[in-house]
């Protein structure tokens, strides 16, 4: 590259970084709010961290397993409904 020239990020890369910063700013508030809601729903202080630590990895492992086996990932519509 000739002297005096430089490369700068712009366009889509710049807009993507700006959008990512706005999303990352909200994540701590979202996690605290989720923890509080779980504490209220489970009526416990010890259970919500366990739910948060096991919930996300289990969904990730399930989707990776389905992809590895070339199977569709499906969830019943009434899976969370108590009768």
pLDDT tens-digit readout, 34-58: 899 989 998 988 888 888 888 778 8
> Of 13, 10, 55, 8, which Cα lies nearest the Cα of 31?
55
Average pLDDT, rounded, for the chain: 83
Q: What are phi and psi of 61, to 5 degrees?
A: -65, -35
pLDDT, residue 53, reads: 84
Domain ranges of the chain: 12-68
Exposure b/e, 22-44, CB count within 10 A at least 16 = b:
eeeeeeeeeeeeeeeebeeeeee
* Global pTM value: 0.54
Q: Determine the pLDDT at residue 33.
A: 94
């Amino acid at each position: 590259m000739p002297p005096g020239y430089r490369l700068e990020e712009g366009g889509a890369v710049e807009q993507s970084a700006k959008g990512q910063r706005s999303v990352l700013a909200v994540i701590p508030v979202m996690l605290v709010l989720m923890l509080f809601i779980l504490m209220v729903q489970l009526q416990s202080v010890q259970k919500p961290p366990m739910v948060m630590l096991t919930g996300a990895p289990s969904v990730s492992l399930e989707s990776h397993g389905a992809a590895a086996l070339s199977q569709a990932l499906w969830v019943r519509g009434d899976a969370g409904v108590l009768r």
